[in-house]
Amino acid sequence: MSQDAGVTGYIQHHLTNWRVGEGFWALHMDSLAVSVLLGALFCLVMWVAARRATSGTPGPLQNTVEMMVEFVEGLVADTYHGKNPIVAPMALTIFVWVFLMNLMDLVPVDLAPETMTALGWEYFKILPTANLNITFGLSLSVLALVIGFSFYYKGAGGFAKEMLFHPFGPWLLPFNLILNIVELLAKPISLSLRLFGNLYAAELIFLMIASLTLGFGTHWVEMLTSVGGLTLLVGQVILATIWAIFHILVIPLQAFIFMMLSIVYLSMAAEHH
């Protein structure tokens, strides 16, 4: 196999999910397992922080949790034009969960696949948000909340009137309906594609950087004793470090954008036109 074919196969292997089943009903078990474990970790940390909360001098964990809660509550108070007790907890859950899933992109690209291959699994992609099924599932949950908020605050009749008569009045009823349906469906699509595209591209760049020394395989002595091998290795380390530092900014930013847009959509759903 040529080096180019090897690089192609390497990237395809690392971007392939561990699947159970075929076709539409196939389950991507790696993405599901990692996302569920991270969600459970988030719940466990919050539970421990609540159990250990004190009115005296707080510890590092309580300080961190209080800062996150106050930060999210402030954003919700500024963005959500109404009162609903579930908006702030929902926003906090989205931000932390998406942040933790994005954080998996900083795990060395060969660690999870090689470890799971040694345990008997051929494929394992550790980054859940580089899987469109995960990001689209999250955005569908937000869509369900948007529809639920619309019915709760406007009632079935008010929601129907908004869909049929807004923005151009009763004379353009079919056009209003089509326009509002497109607007409603565009929300989960834009949420999911934005998160997926950014994390998928970031993972792909990490894999391309990792493939620079792929031609040497496990021959570390040959790589370290040749000018070309040393040059590729040093270049790989420098590029990976630069991209990782830059990506440290992208990880929380994408989680913040997903959270903020969710709050905005819920605020829009609760408002009367």
Residue positions annotated with a catalytic role: 190, 194, 198
How far apart CA 125 and CA 82 sit, in angstroms, is 40
Q: Find tokens 């570390």 and name the residue.
A: 220
How distant, in Å, are the alpha carbons of 6, 213, 225 from that of 35? 30, 31, 42
Q: Which tokens go with 149?
A: 């908020």
**Over 12-79, what HEC string results?**
HHHCCCCEECCHHHCEEHHHHHHHHHHHHHHHHHHHHHHHCCCCCCCCHHHHHHHHHHHHHHHHHHHH
Residue 194 makes CB contacts below 8 A (sequence gap 6+) with 254, 257, 258
Q: How many CB atoms lie within 10 A of CB 70?
A: 10
How far apart CA 48 and CA 65 sit, in angstroms, is 11
Q: Identify whether the C-beta of residue 31 lies closer than 8 Å to the C-beta of residue 134.
A: yes
- DSSP labels for 197-244? HHHHHHHHHHHHHHGGGGGGTT-HHHHHTSHHHHHHHHHHHHHHHHHH
Q: Identify whether the C-beta of residue 106 lies closer than 8 Å to the C-beta of residue 244.
A: yes
Q: Identify whether the C-beta of residue 196 lies closer than 8 Å to the C-beta of residue 135.
A: yes
Q: How many CB atoms lie within 10 A of CB 22?
A: 7
